Amino acid sequence: MADPAGRTPRWDVRLAQILARRRVVLGYILGLAAFLLASPTPRSLAIGAAIASIGEAMRVWAAGHLEKGREVTTTGPYGLTRHPLYVGSAIMGPRVVVAAHTVAVAILVFGYLAVTYTAAIRSEEAHLTDKFGGHYPAYRDGTAARSDRQFSFARAMRNREYRALLGLAAVMALLAAKYYL
């Protein structure tokens, strides 16, 4: 299948796009498997929650700067890393590993993060380069001008960061229920 410019995407690019689009569904499936394999303890739940808080804080900070689809964002955590939302999620991944307290879950989570986030980042960077032309490569290379946008909690909510927070709370509640019930 050719893109609008008539180019045929390479198979690895197509695979990255498919994995990027399906990562949420795949995450739910693997999340169910992780839940079934989990052996949480009160200590593992507490440490997992602490790790998750750090990851979610990174995600809220990033979402509070992001003007998704409108520009290449360069403020806040985007001045430190190109993908702070993924960094925050990647920090939250080990929270499941620690809270679940089992090696099988570690294999699932780290495998999922490595495969799907690599694919999502490749797909997203290609999309941003196509959409914003030279602005994204300049940002990627560290030569883009930075704006002075301030963090906005309202912007974070417009970017639906509350969904990640609710998901985090649901996972922790399910793991706690597995231990206590």
| Domain locations in the chain as residue ranges | 11-180
Residue 4 predicted with pLDDT over 70: no
What local confidence, expressed as pLDDT, does residue 7 receive?
Answer: 55
The pLDDT of residue 1: 47
Separation in Å, CA 12 to CA 25, 115, 152:
20, 12, 37
Model pLDDT for residues 144-168, shown as the tens digit of each residue:
888 889 999 999 999 999 998 998 8
111 or 5, higher pLDDT = 111
CA dist 139 and 132 (Å) reads 11
Mean pLDDT of all residues in 61-70: 94
Average pLDDT over residues 59-83: 95
**Whether the predicted pLDDT of 11 surpasses 80:** no
